[in-house]
Amino acid sequence: MPTSRPYRPCVGIMLLNAQGLVWIGKREPSTGTDPQFCWQMPQGGIDAGEDPLTAARRELYEETSVRSVSLVAEAPGWFDYDYPADVQANKRTAKYRGQTQKWYAFRFEGEESEIDILTPPDGHRPEFCDWRWANASEVPGLVIPFKRPVYDKVMRAFSPFTA
């Protein structure tokens, strides 16, 4: 895979409930993907000229309908991962080597009825088919393997706030 391609600038969001559990969403498994590894935290691209914190709030809202949050922490630095060859071959991601992500932890302060993944706001298509609260220690083992090193860093960065 060419390493001369840039990383796509993105944000990632760790949404925590009052008990310190982490919100994870289940993506529809792709053909050939082990359904066990279809979970992830909200994440998405940063628009041109957009501040990363603004992008994090926007992505969280677009993917979960959640707005009732307070900022808990910002991870130090940016975390990168490379796409595996099969992802690199996808037309949508082909111009990027992988992602560089700025991560934020937010405390969820609303009612669970606010969370709506099936009919996201503003006409966005659903990113997830299911969701749940999880212990931080189990989250890296539920994500697609090529994202695990980043998830391990995120868990370490935000461990003071998790259950």
Q: Is residue 2 part of a domain?
A: no
Domain count, the chain: 1
Distance CA 84, CA 88 (A): 6
Domain that holds residue 144: 7-161
Pseudo-torsion of CA 8, 158, 163, 28, nearest 10°?
Answer: 0
pTM for this predicted structure? 0.92
Q: How would you write the pLDDT of the chain (163 residues) with one tens digit per residue?
A: 456 889 999 999 999 999 999 999 999 766 556 677 899 999 999 999 999 999 999 999 999 999 999 999 999 999 999 998 877 777 666 789 999 999 999 999 999 999 999 999 999 999 999 999 999 999 999 999 999 999 999 999 999 999 8
DSSP string, 60-77: HHHHH----EEEEEE-SS
Q: Is residue 1 part of a domain?
A: no
CB 140 within 8 A of CB 47: no
CB 111 within 8 A of CB 135: no
In this structure, what CATH number is given to the domain that contains residue 128?
A: 3.90.79.10
Q: Is residue 22 part of a domain?
A: yes
Q: Is residue 45 part of a domain?
A: yes
Q: Is residue 84 part of a domain?
A: yes
Q: Provide the CB-side half-sphere exposure for 54 (13 A, CA).
A: 6
